[in-house]
Structure 1
Amino acid sequence: MKKVIIIGGGLAGLTAAIHLSKVKVPVTLIEKNTYPKHKVCGEYISNEVLPYLDWLGVNIGQLQATAISKVHFSTNNGKSIKCELPLGGFGISRFTLDQYLYQKAKDMGCLMLNASVENVSFADEKFAVTLDTSEVLHADIVIGAHGKRSSLDMKLDRGFINRKSPWLAVKAHYELDFPDDLVGLHNFQGGYCGVSKVEGNKINICYLSDYESFKRHRNTAEFERNVLCQNPHLKQILERATPVFEKPITISQVSFESKKCVEDHVLMIGDSAGLIHPLCGNGMAMAIHGAKIASEEVFRYVSDPQYSRKSLEHNYAYYWHENFSKRLKTGKGLAKVLQNQYLSNVLMEIAIRFPSILRYIIRRTHGKILTIENNAT
């Protein structure tokens, strides 16, 4: 039986580990961090993935996720619009979800290694994965699920890694009287902020800002007070919110550049394959969907001796682009509009007069309900 190594135990990596373990493919997952752990993330997932999660045996209801059915969108000048989410979604923290998925994958027989990957090489139809312990693992397939940026990207000489990105992301949990069924997407000068409830009656506030705007201020508190609070909706939220975290968590160099979803024969999934702007609110669903596509193709490769590596890589890339390229393009376009205050105000005026415009944009950044292919089992 062919063996698979997954590098990275975030949402995409854990989902692929559970899928492949379910169909009896031997999997080793390598993750440098321990669970549970908070991550910078919007923590909203579209309901499009629920049938697939059910098939995996992932019980979201058990995690007390919040049901979300409405979106509230506002511009920096305070103009806003609300509408129903076409499919709806749910709010769940990465702290809780990743821990649950980790235990699920482990219980299903996936071998979990707490280590960092130093190098990946491919020769004679086999991968050699070198760990920071100097141990070398061998596999027939390697799936890259190592996130937005990694030293592994440098080892693979991926194009985007050598170019600086102007984006910084900040996330924290708060106590706040906020509707259970609402996700807020609020524009401010130089960025945008998502607000929604997760399990435990906590509110996740996560925002993305260009670094040039952020560095003019001494810290996140000053930046939020002087920049985010220019949007009256965000001001009302932040002034009422009581922090749960000792301090917010941040990541820099967040890149939205195009990436190859197959790199030196490694199948990339999740943020390693491509990152959608957070204002589109659907990165977590994309990570889960991408893991599904990769897992189905890997299962076919493992099960069918006539299915070549070339076909595996070609078909995975085709299905990945077929499902996500339009979403990524829409996200980039929308981000450019919202960075321009004049254009964002024009868009809001149009959306207020024609609410169907906002629903159209939401549909462009979300997928259809996931179904399970017959060959998945």
Structure 2
Amino acid sequence: MNKDNLEYDIIIAGGGLAGLCNAIHLSKFDKKVLLIEKNSYPKHKVCGEYISNEVLPYLEFLNINPFDFGAVKIDDFQLSTTKNKVIAAKLPLGGFGISRYTLDFELYKKAKENGVAILQDQVIQVNFKKDVFTVETKENKKFTAKICIGAFGKRSLLDIKMQRDFIQKKSPYLGVKIHVKGNFPKNKVALHNFKGGYCGVSKVENDVINLCYITNFSSFKKHKNITDFQENVVFKNTFLKEMFQNATPFWEQPLSISQISFETKKPVENHIIMSGDAAGMIHPLCGNGMSMAIQSAQIASKLILNYLNDKIESRKQLENLYIRQWNKQFKWRLKAGHFIAMLFRKDKIASFLLSILKRMPFLLPVIIKQTHGKPIKL
């Protein structure tokens, strides 16, 4: 498809998991899709890189098998508190580990194979008038479409321009990620707490360990740099100290991202269908953001196809159905994630909860289920 074409059925702003899955899904049904992404592929991103198995049926529908690209099966879960108390459980549904570097690149290649027009540029303005979207980019290009999907991640220029509610509030979180070589079970994902934050540990393809943590920025800025923060705060958790100090980094410097927000977002803004992190983020303590992004694409794409094929009568009905289905699928998960994260920020409560879970270990899989879905029905 020629991306110099100015008119499309759908324009997608952002080419992460949600944007790419939307693009593949919609293009499977011969819709003219333009995806605009400011970065080139492949690219590493700050991300936990664990995905619940609930998305496997949908990825199969998109003709993507993550295990063809080295994804690692994960079925064990480990959790530690700031006091270094630990509990383990089997994951009720299981999951897999794969890097964003690999998964995004494979989805990108599939989208191109399907005929999606992919433009490396940045969307700076979206206007909606007379039932048509006009999308303007940083490189002074202008496109029109019947539908616009916002899949631009955690925080973007468009969020600011639209004055979305969450953007008015301070975003106090910082994320840091590094890939390392070391000893860690292939089938395990671990979440280790330290004062003011959490770190996820899991294997991805090529026997690589992903270490990704999030912390309150107010805690971080008391220290000179990432190394100083890790030595004085993160390494108070003995599991993390051992992991970091006995591992060999693949990169000279870790990746970092600031101003991460877990505030409530609206799934539709200015008639733009928001997908992935643009619609809402689950707290990383619950470790399931990637599957939520993928699943949100399925919800959006199915409804958009019905609208474009006149099975949904009006744009208002489309938007209302998307909001309803998004909330049904994710609203409880987000609330549960916020609540669990709040409890674990309080050391005494976290230690008390852990003592209960050790006496009644069957409760941990029940809690995990609150932040995970069931296998996606096609």
Other-structure match for 2:4: none
User: Could you say which residue in structure 2 is the equivalent of 1:246?
Assistant: 252
- 1:12 paired to 2:18: yes
Matched, 1:370 2:372: no
Partner in structure 1 of residue 32 of structure 2: 26
Mapping of residues 1-377 of structure 1, within 5 Å: 3-304=9-310, 307-372=313-378
CA drift at 1:2: 6.8
How far the C-alpha of 1:321 sits from its partner, in A, is 0.2
The TM-score, its normalising length taken from structure 2, stands at 0.97
Aligned equivalents of 1:326, 1:166: Cα separation in 2: 23
Alpha-carbon distance in 1 for matches of 2:352, 2:225: 32
- Once the 2 structures are TM-superposed, how far is the Cα of residue 356 of structure 1 from its aligned partner? 2.0
Between the aligned partners of 1:235 and 1:289, the Cα distance in structure 2 is 35
Q: How many residues align structurally?
A: 372
How big is the shift at 1:103? 0.7
User: Matched residues in 1 for 2:56 and 2:23: separation?
Assistant: 17
Could you tell me how far 1:133 is from its partner in structure 2? Answer: 1.6
Partners of 2:8 and 2:144 within 8 A in 1: no
1: CA distance, partners of 2:320 / 2:136: 26
Q: CA deviation at 1:112?
A: 0.3
- Classify the secondary structure of the residue corresponding to 2:264: coil
SS at match of 2:370: helix
Is 303-312 or 190-199 further displaced after alignment?
Answer: 303-312
User: Retained in 2: the 8 A contact 1:300–1:307?
Assistant: no
For 2:326, the aligned partner's letter is W
Deviation at 1:307, TM superposition (A): 2.1
Question: Deviation string for 1:91-127 (max 9, x for gaps)?
Answer: 0000011011001001101000111111001010000
Closer, same or farther in 2 for the Cα pair 1:305/1:280, shift >3 Å? closer
Partners in 1 of 2:295 and 2:335 — Cα distance?
A: 17
Matches of 1:236 and 1:352, distance apart in 2: 23
Listed as ranges, the gaps of 5+ residues in structure 1 are 373-377
Task: Report the AA paired with residue 279 of structure 2.
Answer: A
Report the CA distance between 1:15 and its aligned residue. Answer: 0.5
Shift of 1:76: 1.1
Q: Is contact 2:312-2:318 (8 Å) kept?
A: no
Encode CA deviations 1:205-261: one digit per residue, 9 max, x unaligned: 000100111111111111111111111111121121111111011111100000000
How far has the Cα of 1:314 moved from its partner?
A: 0.2
Partner of 1:375: none
Farther off after superposition, 233-242 or 187-196: 233-242
Deviations 1:170-196 (A, max 9, x none): 001000111000000011100111000
Aligned-residue offset at 1:14: 0.3
Which stretch shows the higher mean deviation, 139-148 or 239-248? 239-248
Q: CA deviation at 1:162?
A: 2.2
The 3-state SS of whatever aligns with 2:229 is helix
Question: Any conservation in 2 of the 1:127–1:138 contact (CA below 8 Å)?
Answer: yes
Kept in 2: contact 1:144–1:267 (CA 8 A): yes
Structure 1 vs Structure 2 CA RMSD: 1.1
CA contact (8 A) 1:3 1:141 kept: yes
d(CA) in 1 for partners of 2:135 and 2:8? 15
Confirm or deny: 8 A CA contact 2:26 2:301 kept in the other structure: yes
SS at match of 1:118: strand
Q: 1: CA distance between counterparts of 2:262 and 2:65? A: 31
